[in-house]
Amino acid sequence: MAETALDRFLRYAKIDTQSKEDSETYPSTPKQLVLLNLLVNELTALGLKDAAIDHYGYVTATLPSNLPGGHAAAGKVPVVGLIAHVDTSPSASGENVKPQVITYAGGDITLPGDTAVVIRASENPALAMNVGRKVVTTDGTTLLGADDKAGIAIIMTAVQELLADPKELHGDIRIGFTPDEEVGAGTKFFNIQAFGAAVAYTVDGDTPGELNKETFSADSAIITVHGRNIHPGSAKGIMVNALRVIADIIVRLPKDMAPETTEGYEPYIHPHICSGEEALATLRMLLRDFDASGLKVQEQILRRIIAEVQPLHPRARIELEIRESYRNMYDGLQKDPRVTECLWEATKRAGLEPQWVPIRGGTDGSRLTEKGLPTPNIFTGGQNYHGLTEWLSVDGMEQSVRTVVHLAQVWVEKSHA
């Protein structure tokens, strides 16, 4: 019996696949392999004969073309890739996830596992589109994992539908499931040449109808402070408290350049992990700007702050490291307008009013586009990623399945026009 996208999502959501910062292994956590290996088995069961997992954990498979005329006809249509990531964010627990499927009646949603956690209608305008429809929430104690297990479920269900109806013509379609996207390493070892797609699409967005061809350009900043510890009872004139240095740095960060005070195309500097003790403390920050040149401005801001704080703590040693994360996909997607044109048309055929919305974040597609594989992003129906109030529109997930199925057909039409 054919499975729905919801059936699949509920199965995947219960598998803990949380990734981990600064791991020595790839994938960063072995538990991601549980879902990755399951997906190989499910792809094989669907009939994709080359489904496999490599030693990095990347899962790939091919849905062969069903175009009349065999290889000659398929060769005229670009190979299209569909990509989603299995890992969930380290920002909230992904263990013992208990998805709650409800028919949304309007208003706020109080979650049963922790009634202090409330999905507020005032903060979630997309809820209004789901009155009388099914949504999936967490129980309030973990994240849900719609980012990006909804994307996996959508791709798997689209493959099932394309296999079930030979009248839905398509060229060769490559499937790719990746680990470690949430910790910025989703494409670290991804072999674009071996993947073999000419264009690709990540299914990793949110609101139905919203499509993404722009992401932030991103760097990470790591400030390490070396202090000196000694028993507090005899610390006068001797202790150098690295935590106080970090505090003086944080308080000087520009308040009008923070995630909580910005929107749209506005950049931000976001301190997101602070750890340590008196002798050694570390502050990790996300630097984000749609214009990559703005990242240099943010680096200069941090260096000015460090220069201001250093004289306040002359015996502390403050180090700044900048690491490149990914770059805006926009310029790379302009090289072949068909990539975005086909997505726009497919979304319209799914019954939606498409709109291009910049992502205030990044996807695997950011790095893949930079490396030469144009990869815009498709919505999933999920919202509030990385937190306890994450939720998923079942209708939005089904609309994404229809979009993906139409996308395969539009590429056939576009290539034979």
List, by residue number, the catalytic residues. Answer: 87, 181
Tell me the C-alpha distance between 78 and 407, whole Å. Answer: 12
CB atoms within 10 A of CB 234: 9
Q: What angle do CA 90, 93, 95 make, to 5 degrees?
A: 120
User: SS3 for 377?
Assistant: strand
Chain centroid to CA 325 = 13
Cis peptide bond upstream of 331, omega within 30: no
Tell me the C-alpha distance between 373 and 382, whole Å. Answer: 25
CA-based radius of gyration for the chain: 23
User: SS3 for 322?
Assistant: strand
CB atoms within 10 A of CB 256: 8
Backbone angles phi, psi at 245, to 5 degrees: -65, -45
CB atoms within 10 A of CB 1: 3
Tell me the C-alpha distance between 221 and 24, whole Å. Answer: 19
How far is the CA of 228 from the CAs of 236, 242, 314, in angstroms? Answer: 12, 8, 12
Residues forming beta bridges with residue 176, ordered by sequence position: 60, 83
CB atoms within 10 A of CB 272: 12
The 3-class secondary structure across 24-43, one letter per residue, is: CCCCCCCCHHHHHHHHHHHH
Residues forming beta bridges with residue 270, ordered by sequence position: 286
Tokens of 262: 């910005």
For helices 338-349 and 394-416, what crossing angle results, to 10°?
A: 130
